Structure 1
Amino acid sequence: MAGVGSYLKKHTEALVKDVGIEPACELTGKSKATLGRYYSDNDEHADRFMPVDAVAALEEAASYPHVTAALAELKGITLSFDERRRNSDDKGGVNQDVIALSQRFAMLMAEYNLSIEDGVITMNEAKRLLKETLAIQQVLIDMKLHLEDEHT
């Protein structure tokens, strides 16, 4: 459980920092000290975790559901977070999906090229690569749905 607890605390910290400490205090009704204890790796706070209602309130305001994604990963579940940058508002079906897929793949390769330039992929670079990978996954899901709609 120690490894799981540490993993959840890191994602809790990312969530609070994503929202900002002051807004997080307002949204949860918790003090800065209390929020800090939820992600503290000190032994005295090892069994203290953020309540689910506080997580829900913060994830509503955050750019990404950090804790929910961490819980899903621990269970081996893949979430589909649909915050994509659309290449076009046109719902052109499979042909448009193929174009979007090639554009997304090019963006992923560009990110990878920038990330690997110095021989090390940093945490931020990995996050950007993951975001592009998830965008490709969403385009593939859209393509699957379009194919099913057009050919069933």
Structure 2
Amino acid sequence: MDTIGSYLKKHTEALVKDVGIEPACEITGKSKATLGRYYSDHDEHSDRFMPIDAVARLEEASSYPHVTAALSELRGMTLSQEGNPTASNKPGGINSDVIVLSQRFAMLMAEYNLSIQDGVITVNEAKRMLKETLTLQKVLIEMKMHLEDETV
């Protein structure tokens, strides 16, 4: 499987897991097996990708637009969320964001340190680091929204 396909499948998996497998089945009208095929990295499923309408429905229910963000990253772009009503409802502000950011970054570095000790990063170790990276990305987005709220 090519790099782009693998990248999209990983973000599709993150999207399904964000929503939850059972709710994702209900939202898309697809079975667990079908959803699993969309993010499977096995050769027999390398050409199967989630239909864009299913992605849109799942991203509406998710905490983060995983696949849309992945597509924009592949183009070297970033997403910006305008007029997010939940941004100002989040407790804290920029100071809290900086604290959370440093904590999450420390967790990512700790995961990296554990993963690289034997000189090889396994698939499971990479998945754990990816999860920390995605969490860190969400914290940065919250921080960006708080900064945008303060400049208005």
TM-score relative to the length of structure 2? 0.64
Higher mean Cα deviation, 105-114 or 39-48? 105-114
What is aligned with 2:103?
107
Is 1:12 the counterpart of 2:12? The answer is: yes
Tell me how many residue pairs correspond in the alignment.
140
| TM-aligned CA deviation for residue 26 of structure 1 | 0.9
Bigger Rg, structure 1 or 2: 1
Deviation at 1:143, TM superposition (A): 4.1
The corresponding residue for 1:93 is none
Structure 2: gaps of 5 or more residues: none
Gap change, CA 1:86 and 1:115, over 3 Å in 2: farther
**Structure 1 111/44 Cα, relative in aligned 2: closer, same or farther at 3 Å?**
closer
Q: CA deviation at 1:30?
A: 1.4
Offset at 1:51? 1.0
2:39 aligns to what? Answer: 39
Taking the aligned partners of 2:44 and 2:145, their CA distance within structure 1 comes to 45
In structure 2, do the counterparts of structure 1 residues 129 and 87 end up closer, same or farther at CA, with 3 Å as the change threshold? farther
Decide whether aligned partners of structure 1 residues 108 and 56 sit closer, same or farther in structure 2, where only a CA change above 3 A counts: same
Given the two structures, how large is their TM-score scaled by the length of structure 1?
A: 0.64
Provide the C-alpha distance between the structure 2 equivalents of 1:116 and 1:69, rounded to a whole number of angstroms: 23
Q: CA RMSD in A?
A: 3.6
Change (3 A) 1:135 1:34: closer
2:139 to 135, 139, 147: 135
Alignment of 1:2-151 (within 5 A): 2-80=2-80, 86-88=90-92, 97=94, 99-100=95-96, 102-104=98-100, 106-108=102-104, 110-111=106-107, 114-115=110-111, 118=114, 120=116, 122=125, 123-125=127-129, 127-128=131-132, 131-132=135-136, 135-136=139-140, 138-139=142-143, 142-143=146-147, 146=150
SS at match of 1:72: helix
Fraction of identical pairs, as percent: 51
Q: Which amino acid aligns with 2:58?
A: L
Q: Is the 8 A contact 2:19 2:62 kept in 1?
A: yes
